[in-house]
Structure 1
Amino acid sequence: MTTAERLRAEGEARGEARGEARGRAEALIELLTVKFGALPTSTVQTIRNSDPDHVRTWTARVLDATTVDQIFA
Protein backbone atom coordinates (compact mmCIF):
# COMPACT_ATOMS: atom_id res chain seq x y z
CA MET A 1 0.00 0.00 0.00
CA THR A 2 1.38 3.37 -0.97
CA THR A 3 1.53 6.32 1.39
CA ALA A 4 -1.24 8.04 -0.56
CA GLU A 5 -3.47 4.96 -0.30
CA ARG A 6 -2.79 4.67 3.43
CA LEU A 7 -3.57 8.36 4.01
CA ARG A 8 -6.75 8.08 1.94
CA ALA A 9 -7.87 5.02 3.93
CA GLU A 10 -7.15 6.79 7.24
CA GLY A 11 -9.13 9.84 6.11
CA GLU A 12 -12.06 7.69 5.05
CA ALA A 13 -12.03 5.89 8.40
CA ARG A 14 -12.06 9.23 10.27
CA GLY A 15 -14.91 10.45 8.10
CA GLU A 16 -16.92 7.30 8.75
CA ALA A 17 -16.36 7.64 12.50
CA ARG A 18 -17.53 11.27 12.41
CA GLY A 19 -20.59 10.27 10.40
CA GLU A 20 -21.41 7.50 12.85
CA ALA A 21 -21.06 9.90 15.80
CA ARG A 22 -23.35 12.42 14.06
CA GLY A 23 -25.86 9.67 13.44
CA ARG A 24 -25.85 8.67 17.09
CA ALA A 25 -26.36 12.28 18.15
CA GLU A 26 -29.29 12.70 15.78
CA ALA A 27 -30.82 9.42 17.01
CA LEU A 28 -30.56 10.63 20.62
CA ILE A 29 -32.22 13.93 19.69
CA GLU A 30 -35.04 12.01 18.02
CA LEU A 31 -35.51 9.69 20.99
CA LEU A 32 -35.61 12.58 23.44
CA THR A 33 -38.06 14.49 21.27
CA VAL A 34 -40.39 11.51 21.04
CA LYS A 35 -40.21 10.88 24.77
CA PHE A 36 -40.22 14.45 26.14
CA GLY A 37 -41.42 16.70 23.33
CA ALA A 38 -39.59 19.58 21.67
CA LEU A 39 -36.09 20.13 23.03
CA PRO A 40 -34.49 23.49 23.75
CA THR A 41 -32.01 24.57 21.09
CA SER A 42 -29.26 24.54 23.71
CA THR A 43 -29.90 20.86 24.45
CA VAL A 44 -29.77 19.95 20.78
CA GLN A 45 -26.51 21.90 20.39
CA THR A 46 -25.03 20.22 23.46
CA ILE A 47 -25.77 16.79 22.03
CA ARG A 48 -24.44 17.62 18.57
CA ASN A 49 -21.22 19.10 19.98
CA SER A 50 -20.50 16.37 22.52
CA ASP A 51 -18.03 13.54 22.62
CA PRO A 52 -19.43 10.29 21.16
CA ASP A 53 -18.92 8.54 24.52
CA HIS A 54 -21.20 11.05 26.23
CA VAL A 55 -23.83 10.59 23.53
CA ARG A 56 -23.67 6.82 24.02
CA THR A 57 -24.10 7.20 27.80
CA TRP A 58 -27.00 9.63 27.42
CA THR A 59 -28.71 7.34 24.92
CA ALA A 60 -28.65 4.48 27.41
CA ARG A 61 -30.20 6.74 30.06
CA VAL A 62 -33.24 7.40 27.87
CA LEU A 63 -34.64 4.03 28.92
CA ASP A 64 -35.00 4.94 32.61
CA ALA A 65 -35.19 8.74 32.63
CA THR A 66 -38.42 10.49 33.48
CA THR A 67 -37.07 13.96 32.69
CA VAL A 68 -34.59 15.38 30.20
CA ASP A 69 -32.45 16.61 33.09
CA GLN A 70 -31.91 13.01 34.24
CA ILE A 71 -30.30 12.23 30.89
CA PHE A 72 -27.52 14.73 31.47
CA ALA A 73 -27.07 14.31 35.25
Structure 2
Amino acid sequence: MTRFAERFLEKGRDEGREEGIGQGEARVLLRQLTLKFGPLPDPVRARIESADADTLLRWSERVLTADQLEDVLGA
Protein backbone atom coordinates (compact mmCIF):
# COMPACT_ATOMS: atom_id res chain seq x y z
CA MET A 1 0.00 0.00 0.00
CA THR A 2 1.32 3.44 -0.85
CA ARG A 3 1.95 6.15 1.71
CA PHE A 4 -0.86 8.19 0.17
CA ALA A 5 -3.32 5.31 0.55
CA GLU A 6 -2.23 4.73 4.16
CA ARG A 7 -2.73 8.40 5.03
CA PHE A 8 -6.09 8.40 3.26
CA LEU A 9 -7.26 5.35 5.22
CA GLU A 10 -5.99 6.75 8.52
CA LYS A 11 -7.82 10.03 7.89
CA GLY A 12 -11.00 8.07 7.19
CA ARG A 13 -10.61 6.10 10.41
CA ASP A 14 -10.07 9.29 12.40
CA GLU A 15 -13.13 10.93 10.88
CA GLY A 16 -15.23 7.83 11.54
CA ARG A 17 -14.05 7.70 15.14
CA GLU A 18 -14.93 11.36 15.68
CA GLU A 19 -18.34 10.85 14.12
CA GLY A 20 -18.96 7.85 16.37
CA ILE A 21 -17.98 9.82 19.45
CA GLY A 22 -20.33 12.64 18.46
CA GLN A 23 -23.18 10.20 17.95
CA GLY A 24 -22.50 8.70 21.37
CA GLU A 25 -22.49 12.12 23.01
CA ALA A 26 -25.78 13.00 21.32
CA ARG A 27 -27.29 9.69 22.43
CA VAL A 28 -26.30 10.27 26.07
CA LEU A 29 -27.68 13.81 26.02
CA LEU A 30 -30.95 12.63 24.49
CA ARG A 31 -31.22 10.03 27.24
CA GLN A 32 -30.47 12.54 29.99
CA LEU A 33 -33.02 15.02 28.66
CA THR A 34 -35.69 12.36 28.24
CA LEU A 35 -35.19 11.13 31.79
CA LYS A 36 -35.34 14.65 33.19
CA PHE A 37 -38.04 16.27 31.02
CA GLY A 38 -39.96 13.39 29.42
CA PRO A 39 -40.38 12.63 25.72
CA LEU A 40 -38.61 15.13 23.48
CA PRO A 41 -40.19 16.80 20.46
CA ASP A 42 -38.78 15.68 17.10
CA PRO A 43 -37.28 19.12 16.31
CA VAL A 44 -35.32 19.00 19.58
CA ARG A 45 -34.06 15.49 18.79
CA ALA A 46 -32.98 16.61 15.32
CA ARG A 47 -31.21 19.66 16.73
CA ILE A 48 -29.24 17.53 19.18
CA GLU A 49 -28.38 14.90 16.56
CA SER A 50 -26.96 17.57 14.25
CA ALA A 51 -25.05 19.57 16.89
CA ASP A 52 -21.26 19.72 16.99
CA ALA A 53 -19.21 18.26 19.85
CA ASP A 54 -18.65 21.58 21.66
CA THR A 55 -22.35 22.36 21.66
CA LEU A 56 -23.22 18.88 22.92
CA LEU A 57 -20.74 19.27 25.76
CA ARG A 58 -22.15 22.68 26.74
CA TRP A 59 -25.70 21.33 26.69
CA SER A 60 -24.77 18.23 28.68
CA GLU A 61 -23.30 20.44 31.41
CA ARG A 62 -26.50 22.50 31.56
CA VAL A 63 -28.65 19.41 32.15
CA LEU A 64 -27.40 19.31 35.73
CA THR A 65 -28.89 22.67 36.71
CA ALA A 66 -31.72 23.17 34.21
CA ASP A 67 -35.31 23.43 35.37
CA GLN A 68 -36.73 23.19 31.88
CA LEU A 69 -35.63 22.03 28.44
CA GLU A 70 -35.16 25.60 27.21
CA ASP A 71 -32.56 26.14 29.94
CA VAL A 72 -30.43 23.45 28.33
CA LEU A 73 -30.77 24.35 24.67
CA GLY A 74 -30.89 28.13 25.03
CA ALA A 75 -28.04 30.40 23.94
Which TM-score applies when normalising by structure 2? 0.93
Distance 1:50 1:39 in 2: 16
Extract unaligned runs of 5+ from structure 2: none
4+ runs deviating over 2 angstroms: none
1:37 paired residue number: 38
* CA RMSD between the two structures: 1.0
The CA deviation at 1:50 is: 1.1
The CA deviation at 1:72 is: 1.2
Secondary structure at the residue paired with 1:39? Answer: coil
Q: % of aligned pairs identical?
A: 33
1:69 paired residue number: 70
Q: Give CA-to-partner distance per residue, 1:4-36, whole Å, 9 cap, x none.
A: 111101110000000100110011000000011
Q: Give CA-to-partner distance per residue, 1:34-71, whole Å, 9 cap, x none.
A: 01110001100000011111111000000000100000
Distance 2:73 2:47 in 1: 10
1:48 paired residue number: 49
Which TM-score applies when normalising by structure 1? 0.95
1:4 paired residue number: 5
Distance 1:72 1:6 in 2: 38
